[in-house]
């Protein structure tokens, strides 16, 4: 039986559970996109390949199956490199499909040796041919490598000449099973860590929970409760163990790091986010136990190398570790009095910031303090993007649920905002999705508001408008303004209105409350997005640094 290659390939994707594809069409892949739509796949046509790639990347993280990105070759694929890099660095599953020229080696339309470009940077690259077995194999390998082992990005090259071609199909489609493979660490290594902990009952032990642990919330909560161990979530691991848990030390992060003597790193990397495990941020004598299913992360920036390294599935590892600790009745002393005092003092400082006006204009803390009681945590995914916007939001919007907080991630990537928000809404349509972004961050992806409106993906977008990157400028003229300055008080809500959303301009807290309630109601009843443009004080010029890594904000 003859069947068009686009039909056969689409059917294979559906067989592997793919129901959503992100991308931008053009020659030659427009026919493939139309085939996908005809066969019931939801195609989210974005306005820029970069945003589409971020959406697909986040969708892979949120759903656990590969996000699928379809783009044209050449410049389209180049634009999509942003999401490819994002998926590889965050270890999220992504499958990129791009068309390629029909006239290679002749200066053909958008010609680029895409396989050579990507090979060595992705987990798998393959090119389709006019052969049933080859199409089945390439598709399977791309799916297998995307989700198998350490998740990441893969690529399928779809030559333009195949778009209108057909193949003679014999037999049924060969779709292979792709269950998640779990493996446990060496029992001897587990015993060594258990011995270390058993000798550390009176030492200051800290769990650091990374986003690599988001699928193991139940087991981690049990471990924390059973052994009374204080914990610190990294930004996107918030909610894996509820932020409301009494052993959460996020409010005294700096003190917790400096006093920790034995540290279990669970699904996180000792990278810049955790100050490479080095003094002066950390206790110089701290012993780091790294637990990860990625062997390449173990021993990195660890002064003791692989002395205390457990390679395996986190759930299986915690089960193995629980047995010897339970047998000897080990239980940690919990929070030190000094940590408790620091948590209490910092929470009081934060509340004072949130309830104190620093000028006639609004500020970040006031806005977040006003929004927090209006948000139903269990029913809301918050995406935050932008330097100050994101840093302050991390401490202002706690959550008790995993995968309810998305931000710039491992690479501190700007431009992810609307792509992530769209992915979040598609992955869980019943949840409210709130995007809080700075005015600079808004500029990276604002056209995707039209994508959200067209697809009836109801988002609440809050723009923290300080008229600048990090901070605005006090002067009226931009002729000699610093590089961080943007135009004053841009009417971003009018951009939203022009693209099919509601728009609200806010200068006061009563206006903010009213606009937010209207935006939430519109998202629920009308499936309509809203942009709330919140004019805040520009802030004082200061040395620019990432707040999560340096600066006074770390004491919170």
Domain ranges of the chain: 2-168, 187-340, 357-535
pLDDT at 556: 35
Mean confidence (pLDDT) of the chain = 94
Label residue 545 by pLDDT band (50, 70, 90): low
For the cut 90, the answer to whether the pLDDT of residue 105 exceeds it is no
pLDDT at 201: 79
For the cut 90, the answer to whether the pLDDT of residue 59 exceeds it is yes
In this chain, the answer to whether the domains covering 2-168 and 187-340 adopt an identical fold is: yes
Token digits of residue 153? 């990005």
pLDDT at 546: 53
Token digits of residue 202? 């009176």
In this structure, the strands spanning 2-4 and 166-168 are antiparallel
Of the candidate ranges 177-181, 244-248, 474-478, the one whose mean pLDDT is the lowest:
474-478
Label residue 551 by pLDDT band (50, 70, 90): very low
For the cut 50, the answer to whether the pLDDT of residue 153 exceeds it is yes
464: nearest Cα among 526, 371, 351, 347: 371
DSSP-assigned letter for residue 28: T
Label residue 101 by pLDDT band (50, 70, 90): confident
Superfamily for the 357-535 domain: Thiamin diphosphate (ThDP)-binding fold, Pyr/PP domains (3.40.50.970)
Greater pLDDT, 357 or 155: 155
- Give the DSSP H/E element, type plus range, for residue 102: none
Terminus-to-terminus CA distance in the chain, angstroms? 66
pLDDT at 288: 98
In this structure, the strands spanning 42-45 and 20-23 are parallel
Please compute the mean of the pLDDT values over residues 483-504 and round it to a whole number: 95
Greater pLDDT, 478 or 529: 529
Residue with tokens 């490819």: 84
**Whole-angstrom distance, CA of residue 555 vs CA of residue 551:** 8
230: nearest Cα among 251, 213, 199: 251
pLDDT at 482: 83
Please compute the mean of the pLDDT values over residues 407-427 and round it to a whole number: 96
Please compute the mean of the pLDDT values over residues 255-274 and round it to a whole number: 96
Contacting residues for 296 by C-beta, under 8 A, at least 6 apart: none
pLDDT at 541: 66
Label residue 518 by pLDDT band (50, 70, 90): very high
Please compute the mean of the pLDDT values over residues 123-151 and round it to a whole number: 97
**Whole-angstrom distance, CA of residue 386 vs CA of residue 59:** 20
pLDDT at 111: 84
Residue 420 burial class via C-beta count within 10 angstroms: exposed 0-12, middle 13-18, buried 19 and up: buried
**Whole-angstrom distance, CA of residue 469 vs CA of residue 474:** 13
DSSP-assigned letter for residue 186: P
277: nearest Cα among 291, 296, 258: 258
**Whole-angstrom distance, CA of residue 84 vs CA of residue 79:** 10
Of the candidate ranges 34-38, 196-200, 355-359, the one whose mean pLDDT is the lowest:
355-359
Handedness of CA 400, 401, 406, 407 (dihedral sign): positive
Label residue 103 by pLDDT band (50, 70, 90): confident
pLDDT at 107: 86
**Whole-angstrom distance, CA of residue 407 vs CA of residue 137:** 35
Label residue 552 by pLDDT band (50, 70, 90): very low
For the cut 80, the answer to whether the pLDDT of residue 429 exceeds it is yes
- Give the DSSP H/E element, type plus range, for residue 380: strand 380-385
Please compute the mean of the pLDDT values over residues 160-170 and round it to a whole number: 94
Token digits of residue 518? 């209207």
Q: List alpha helices for 228-298, DSSP H.
A: 253-259
**Whole-angstrom distance, CA of residue 299 vs CA of residue 282:** 17
pLDDT at 553: 41
pLDDT at 358: 79
Handedness of CA 22, 24, 30, 34 (dihedral sign): positive
pLDDT digits (tens, 9 = 90+) for 430-484: 999 999 999 999 999 999 999 999 999 999 999 999 988 888 876 665 567 788 8
In this structure, the strands spanning 432-438 and 2-4 are unpaired
**Whole-angstrom distance, CA of residue 454 vs CA of residue 461:** 16
For the cut 90, the answer to whether the pLDDT of residue 377 exceeds it is yes
Handedness of CA 138, 143, 145, 146 (dihedral sign): positive
393: nearest Cα among 404, 382, 379: 382
Please compute the mean of the pLDDT values over residues 150-165 and round it to a whole number: 96
Label residue 104 by pLDDT band (50, 70, 90): confident
Fold (CATH) for 2-168: Rossmann fold (3.40.50)
Superfamily for the 187-340 domain: TPP-binding domain (3.40.50.1220)
């Amino acid at each position: 039986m003859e069947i068009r290659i686009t039909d056969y390939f689409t059917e294979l994707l559906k067989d592997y559970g793919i129901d959503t594809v992100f991308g931008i069409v053009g020659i030659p892949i427009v026919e493939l996109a139309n085939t996908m739509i005809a066969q019931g796949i939801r195609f989210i046509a974005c306005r820029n390949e970069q945003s589409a790639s971020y959406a697909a990347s986040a969708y892979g993280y949120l759903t656990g199956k590969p996000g699928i990105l379809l783009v044209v070759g050449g410049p389209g694929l180049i634009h999509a490199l942003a999401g490819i890099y994002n998926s590889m660095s965050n270890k999220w599953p992504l499958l990129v499909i791009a068309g390629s020229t029909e006239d290679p080696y002749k200066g053909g339309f958008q010609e680029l040796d895409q396989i050579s470009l990507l090979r060595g940077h992705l987990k798998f690259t393959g090119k389709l041919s006019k052969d049933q077995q080859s199409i089945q194999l390439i598709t399977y390998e791309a799916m297998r490598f995307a989700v198998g082992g350490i998740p990441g990005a893969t690529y399928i090259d779809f030559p333009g000449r195949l778009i209108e071609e057909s193949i003679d199909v014999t037999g049924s489609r060969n779709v292979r099973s792709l269950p998640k493979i779990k493996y446990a660490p060496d029992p001897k290594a587990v015993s060594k860590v258990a011995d270390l902990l058993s000798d550390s009952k009176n030492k200051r032990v800290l769990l650091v929970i990374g986003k690599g642990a988001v699928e193991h919330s139940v087991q981690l909560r049990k471990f924390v409760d059973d052994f009374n161990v204080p914990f610190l979530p990294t930004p996107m691991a918030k909610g894996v163990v509820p932020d409301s848990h009494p052993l959460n030390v996020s409010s005294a992060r700096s003190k917790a790091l400096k006093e920790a003597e034995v540290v279990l790193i669970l699904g996180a990397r000792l990278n810049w986010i955790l100050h490479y495990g080095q003094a002066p941020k950390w206790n110089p004598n701290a012993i780091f136990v790294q637990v990860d299913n990625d062997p390449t992360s173990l021993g990195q920036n660890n002064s003791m190398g692989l002395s205390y390294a457990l390679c395996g599935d986190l759930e299986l590892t915690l089960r193995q570790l629980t047995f010897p600790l339970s047998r000897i009745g080990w239980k940690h002393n919990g929070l030190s009095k000094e940590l408790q005092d620091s948590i209490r003092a910092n929470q009081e400082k934060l509340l004072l910031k949130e309830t104190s006006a620093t000028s006639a204009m609004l500020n970040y803390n006031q806005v977040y303090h006003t929004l927090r009681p209006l948000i139903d945590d269990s029913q809301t995914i918050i995406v935050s993007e932008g330097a100050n916007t994101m840093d302050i939001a991390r401490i202002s919007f706690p959550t008790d649920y995993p995968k309810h907080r998305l931000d710039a991630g491992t690479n501190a990537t700007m431009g992810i905002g609307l792509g992530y928000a769209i992915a979040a809404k598609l992955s869980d349509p019943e949840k409210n999705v709130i995007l809080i972004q700075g005015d600079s961050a808004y500029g990276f992806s604002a056209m995707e508001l039209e994508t959200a409106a067209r697809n009836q993906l109801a988002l609440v977008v809050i723009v923290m408008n300080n008229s600048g990157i990090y901070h605005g400028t006090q002067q009226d003229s931009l002729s000699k303004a610093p590089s961080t300055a943007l135009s004053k008080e841009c009417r971003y809500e009018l951009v939203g209105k022009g693209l099919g959303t509601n728009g609200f301009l806010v200068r006061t807290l009563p206006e903010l409350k009213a606009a937010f309630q209207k935006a939430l109601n519109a998202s629920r009843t009308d499936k309509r997005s809203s942009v709330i443009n919140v004019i805040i004080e520009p802030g004082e010029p200061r040395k620019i640094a990432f707040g999560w890594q340096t600066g006074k904000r770390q004491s919170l």
